[in-house]
Structure 1
């Protein structure tokens, strides 16, 4: 018995040691079976410093690329290219440029794309790049046109994506939160997703209560559309009697003989189901689909006449194109048509959605975006329109996709993996108004040119700015229904700070401002008149409003560099004469120090406190108004 146990332990030890030994054959097997997480782990064990074959670097890069681990992917693409292997395919340079773009390193990505374009000048992606090599620069200066917020339906552990809203305000989306809900039979027999060892995706519904309300009431659709395969996005026919949805092509038994379908490398196809009572039954593949090609992410046009989808079927320009097909009677479809090279670049174009205002939203990883998949929009009402990037904050260096928008609700939905998991977010279109400020000189009614105009939002940020033209007009673009301060400045005039509220109904709002010349502050030959300079009670700290008044004095003194000014500070008659004298001296000194802090030389200023010695209003007893008159600062011109 003891001998048997020793033999058993030795055999187990040998087995463990054998498993620990790195194996290229095992790594390639994992890769072939699309088990990219396992494959990456095994390839990594085969690394041997400078002696590592380039094949290992390329396989690791591809595994991490497929798993959206961009930093790791860029590391191994870089190692492969650094070996100056002349046999490297141009595609490797393209993939390296894309992961660098995802990492936000746009200039490096541009350099790599130039190498790709030199090696594959006829490639449609190279042509797209050469047409606009500096496309990223246009993204820096654009204003946000949307804001977003978390939808409320996301699961902290699992992925959610592909949300869209039905006419009855039922929200449909895709999630892999199915692990906790599935019965044991399904858990045992489920055809699992091998890429990242995650549960498969199913279709879910949720309750939409309002655009600002969290989305709740999540429920998995219990019918034949959700089975043991990965199910993708879904959409209903206009009458609500058909569900068109994406699912693994492996689901179609006739397709399983195809090698691409057999390997289940995330290859999707399109199916439809009929509604009977409250359940979806009779799932069938769409007749225009073919084995070995990708068909995914369907959506129906608002009039219900066309089904839009993404595919790499024959006639595509790139990895994935946007197509549409006419929906006919008796579950028949017309001939699919490609939406053309304006919308379809040579890259991946996916997740089409045609809104009720005829704007087509879709996602693309074409050159010039923020990194991964970005959301684009094109106005189908204009035949010559070209796709426009929606910009930040909808698009990020990560993957942002599946954007749907509902003009009647002034709200959209989109998906993003910006925080490390894929979540559904709400999007709200920002309304902008062109604000025109006409500047004129007070008293003369003449236009003021070259005045600087700044639009400051409630967060004290300059949201837009401009300079007045020769006609005195300054323009800015600011958000509707927002409150702003307009700051207007000119070397020869007093600064103006005006509060405004923008009206959403008006496409253009105008404001006429009469600016006061600096000379308005100078009274006679010996005095500068400012508003009240206020301090906190029994304190020497100057209030913000008083700082704005003192800034006017600063501007006058900068305009007249030889001017010298004396600051006289007076108090009311309350308190003892000695205390009042001390307090007024300290306030006069604090005023001088503030003016010096704004760039005026100290030798151009004097200060003195008079306490209650020189009351402006003689009173006994004094009213509050009398005291306010006596508490004052005077600015005497000593030299012009």
Structure 2
């Protein structure tokens, strides 16, 4: 959504260091007219002729940035910074890198930006919290999302609002519309679709009363359904500024109101604070109809685009627009406000710290109003915006270009449930405090880590419709893992009895499990490391303990290859133990290839092969 004129309905001029010349004149004119697709073609033609200095590369980066082709934008910005650029170029490059999930590289460019412009609020915020990503990832999942089937294949669809049983949204799918130069797409129209009882949506149709030959959408509707607010272009009111040099009529996006009479939208009127000098767009009317929230770059804005509000009086007149202030607005862009029935403000920002591009934030206007990133999967590394929620149907919508085009996703709140873990000593039955408890998803991704309290308990808020794994770790105890499958109750109680490591030491052997390896690999797995940590603990407690490691492969591959693979596995196993501080003269290893199969099978299953890929431990001296 870096293509701000399309989605934010606001012409955001990119300020660049001038290096125009006769060679770039044609491309520059297209760029200045916001015809970025055609400008790209001209700039690329120049590079084919050998003209690819920092100016041309930056212009290509900016052009791709504005149509949100992040891969090509990254490519040309990387070339542009080979020569010195202005601070904003480094900032945009950093944002593009973040959108491409290159966080380390993004941080490096943000450091350059912060050095060049240390007083900029974006630089200050970054330097305060450069390692922000783990905290964002740790946000509890609030919604499940699903792409709507009514999205067009390769055109923009966004800004969905469900009123009653009708879904309203903006789309450029109408091939009969004229094409505008920004993205070479048809102009936007307002569409509607019926919301069915089974949760499906009917075929979209145009809202003919509101659409013109210009951009329209998105919309907001009063609680009684009789008044609609929507965005459209100022050309509708003959409001525009003439640029004689560029031979352009520069319009803005403005807000309009219509009244429903006999089932039709009529009496379309512009709002009194519209202007040809600035944009007003993306309306959201409060449930009591007394406050209209919108986005604008009008005088008094903190950043490029801010969120504003205006009082709607009983007589239909309006108060003076008020900026929501620096708690919400930043030097970046904030837009697409949505005010819920319980006065939660949802909005999109690229100035607050997020995963990349625009993220959706929420703020409780009845409390401190501090914005909070609502986390994944609503937010992604791309642009996520236009979040709305229908409390009656318990369903929301968010727009995102995470798959390349702006599309609409259904957002369903996650059922709030809890996993309570209670950890005890298996021998004494005493509750164990300070146990590290890790929760993982079904793909073994670590979601969060906590420690048990004095009562041996720790809890996680979870989605009960998802499978989890709970791991418990404590020095001196055998690591344990428990699978927690989907559950129906509000709380799942997991009891874990940790076995003291001393209890697994027998007279002539150690009751350790073998460690297993992935196919054709010799690296120590997460589970293998936990088992080896037991061995390390025992060897630290028993200084006379000397261990031999026997490593094996499955029966696939040649004998010679398997001998070498098993030898590498033995070395990995031994090196892990030595890396934990055990002297090298107390542990040795040898590979046996496939000569000592645990399961000797002619046609082995994957499970049988896995059992054969192992390292075992033998006590040589005690």
TM range (shorter): 0.7 to 0.9
Aligned with residue 112 of structure 1, among 109, 117, 126: 109
Q: Equivalent residue for 2:566?
A: none
C-alpha distance in 2 between matches for 1:417 and 1:279: 33
1:596 and 1:58, CA in 2 relative to 1: closer, same or farther beyond 3 A?
closer
1:51 and 1:45, CA in 2 relative to 1: closer, same or farther beyond 3 A?
closer
1:447 maps to 2:463: no
Give the alignment of 1:11-410 within 5 angstroms: 24-47=24-47, 52-84=52-84, 88-166=85-163, 168-179=164-175, 182=176, 190=178, 192-210=179-197, 213-223=199-209, 225-253=210-238, 255-257=239-241, 259=243, 263=248, 267-366=252-351, 368-383=353-368, 385-410=369-394
Over residues 333-377 of structure 1, what are the superposed CA-to-partner deviations in whole Å (9 max), with x where a residue is unaligned? 111111110110111100001112221110011153222111111
Q: Is the 8 A contact 1:152 1:216 kept in 2?
A: no
Q: Is the 8 A contact 2:240 2:252 kept in 1?
A: no
- Taking only aligned residues, the RMSD between alpha carbons, in angstroms, comes to 4.2
C-alpha distance in 2 between matches for 1:588 and 1:67: 58
1:563 and 1:557, CA in 2 relative to 1: closer, same or farther beyond 3 A?
farther
Q: How many angstroms does 1:292 deviate by? A: 1.7
Over residues 54-92 of structure 1, what are the superposed CA-to-partner deviations in whole Å (9 max), with x where a residue is unaligned? 4433433332222212333333334343223xxx54333
Q: Equivalent residue for 2:520?
A: none
C-alpha distance in 2 between matches for 1:323 and 1:131: 27
Q: How many angstroms does 1:414 deviate by? A: 0.6
Q: Is the 8 A contact 1:463 1:478 kept in 2?
A: no
Q: Is the 8 A contact 1:360 1:380 kept in 2?
A: yes
SS in 2 for 1:350: strand
C-alpha distance in 1 between matches for 2:509 and 2:58: 79
Of 228-237 and 454-463, the range deviating more from structure 2 = 454-463
Give the alignment of 1:629-640 within 5 angstroms: none
Q: How many angstroms does 1:310 deviate by? A: 0.3
Which TM-score applies when normalising by structure 1? 0.71
1:50 and 1:314, CA in 2 relative to 1: closer, same or farther beyond 3 A?
same
Of 242-251 and 432-441, the range deviating more from structure 2 = 432-441
C-alpha distance in 2 between matches for 1:459 and 1:70: 28
Q: Is the 8 A contact 1:250 1:264 kept in 2?
A: no
1:556 and 1:218, CA in 2 relative to 1: closer, same or farther beyond 3 A?
same
C-alpha distance in 2 between matches for 1:451 and 1:119: 46
Q: Equivalent residue for 2:590?
A: none
From the two aligned structures, give the one with the greater helix fraction.
1
Q: How many angstroms does 1:111 deviate by? A: 3.0
Q: How many angstroms does 1:33 deviate by? A: 2.7
1:528 and 1:303, CA in 2 relative to 1: closer, same or farther beyond 3 A?
same
SS in 1 for 2:388: strand
Q: Is the 8 A contact 1:411 1:429 kept in 2?
A: yes
Q: How many angstroms does 1:557 deviate by? A: 13
Aligned with residue 416 of structure 1, among 400, 418, 423: 400
C-alpha distance in 2 between matches for 1:504 and 1:264: 60
Q: Is the 8 A contact 1:164 1:171 kept in 2?
A: yes
C-alpha distance in 1 between matches for 2:52 and 2:504: 79
SS in 2 for 1:47: helix
C-alpha distance in 1 between matches for 2:112 and 2:501: 60
C-alpha distance in 2 between matches for 1:36 and 1:66: 7
1:97 and 1:287, CA in 2 relative to 1: closer, same or farther beyond 3 A?
same
C-alpha distance in 2 between matches for 1:90 and 1:130: 16
Q: How many angstroms does 1:199 deviate by? A: 0.8
Q: How many angstroms does 1:518 deviate by? A: 7.6
Q: Equivalent residue for 2:409?
A: 425
1:108 and 1:483, CA in 2 relative to 1: closer, same or farther beyond 3 A?
closer
Q: How many angstroms does 1:104 deviate by? A: 2.6
Q: How many angstroms does 1:96 deviate by? A: 2.9
1:63 and 1:277, CA in 2 relative to 1: closer, same or farther beyond 3 A?
same
SS in 1 for 2:204: strand
1:364 and 1:396, CA in 2 relative to 1: closer, same or farther beyond 3 A?
same
1:95 and 1:558, CA in 2 relative to 1: closer, same or farther beyond 3 A?
closer
C-alpha distance in 2 between matches for 1:138 and 1:472: 25
Counting matched residue pairs gives 525
C-alpha distance in 2 between matches for 1:47 and 1:94: 24
Unmatched runs of 5 consecutive residues or more in structure 2: 1-21, 512-526, 548-596, 602-608
Which TM-score applies when normalising by structure 2? 0.73
Over residues 448-467 of structure 1, what are the superposed CA-to-partner deviations in whole Å (9 max), with x where a residue is unaligned? 35655455655666655545
